[in-house]
Amino acid sequence: DIQMTQSPSSLSASVGDRVTITCQASQDISNYLNWYQQKPGKAPKLLIYDASNLETGVPSRFSGSGSGTDFTFTISSLQPEDIATYYCQQYDNPTWTFGQGTKVEIK
Amino acid sequence: EVQLVESGGGLVQPGGSLRLSCAASGFTFSSYSMNWVRQAPGKGLEWVSYISSSSSTIYYADSVKGRFTISRDNAKNSLYLQMNSLRDEDTAVYYCARDASYYTRGNAFDIWGQGTMVTVSS
């Protein structure tokens, strides 16, 4: 089974800061990597699919990059409404695995 | 409005059974594969099961294989999860989620329900 290592587990940043989260797969997953945002008490929301594609309606301050085993999720300018936990997700037919999550807080 | 609404959660004793439902609206349910994903209290997300649009292909996570059964009724726009032999570690919020393989290579989940809580405890 492919393992996903997401880091950091939590971070604190100021409004306007650039925030970066990484996700590493235990083996090559091409670009089969998605990113989700989950606010407290809410369902996850798809932000980025296939490593770098922005889901319709998602603000352009969110972006993703990477391929193979190493992936990066970036918030270019952190906003108060971005307080949430972010998860990467990989697809390795026929199973899906999520990263451990990164809780983003405002400093 | 595209929407998924789960129901059927509740408190059940270890070894018991529960059937979750997910009602879909606002899209052609019969055209989409669907999934169940769960989240234990204070923990991360765990994929549970997948069913293709015609029910011809079904997958389960190892943690639920042999105990849970996914099914769907396209005429009723509904997805189900029959959970048997429940264990304490099955306690979680259960989400249904639409498969976005029609436009994502990584089979992302583009629409999620609000979740239904399942508590397994004596």
> How many CB pairs (< 8 A) connect A and B?
72
- CB proximity B108 to A under 8 Å: yes
B95, B107, B112 member nearest A91 (Cβ): B107
Most A CBs within 10 Å, among B38, B59, B101, B105, to test the A interface: B105
Cβ within 8 Å of residue B90, ≥6 positions away = B38, B64, B83, B118, B120
Bond before A44 cis per omega within 30 degrees = no
pLDDT at A92 over 90: no
B56-61, Cβ contacts within 8 angstroms, sequence gap of 24 or more? B57/A94, B57/B33, B59/A94, B59/A95, B61/A95
B37, B106, B113 ranked by CB distance to A91: nearest: B106
Which residues of chain B are modeled with pLDDT < 50?
Answer: none
- Distance (Å, rounded) from C-alpha B40 to C-alpha B121? 14
Residue A26: the pLDDT is: 94
Higher-confidence residue of A94 and B53: namely B53
Query: What pLDDT is recorded for position B12?
Result: 98
Provide CB contacts within 8 A for B87, sequence distance 6+: B14, B120
Nearest-CA residue of chain A relative to B61? A95
Phi, psi of A54 (to 5 degrees): -80, 125
Interchain contact, B45 vs A46, CB within 8 Å: no
Rounded Cα distance, A99 and A36, in Å: 10
In the predicted model, is pLDDT for residue A103 greater than 90?
yes
Which of helix, strand or coil describes residue B88? helix
* Residue-level pLDDT at B105: 84
Cβ atoms of A12 and A105 within 8 Å: the answer is yes
Mean of per-residue pLDDT scores for chain A: 96
What pLDDT is stored for residue A1 in this prediction?
84
pLDDT digits (tens, 9 = 90+) for B34-46: 999 999 999 999 9
Residue A40 is predicted with a pLDDT of 95
Supply the pLDDT for residue B102.
82
Q: Are B108 and A46 within 8 A, CB to CB?
A: yes
Q: Nearest Cβ partner of B104 from A50, A97, A99?
A: A50
Residue A67 has which token pair? 């391929």
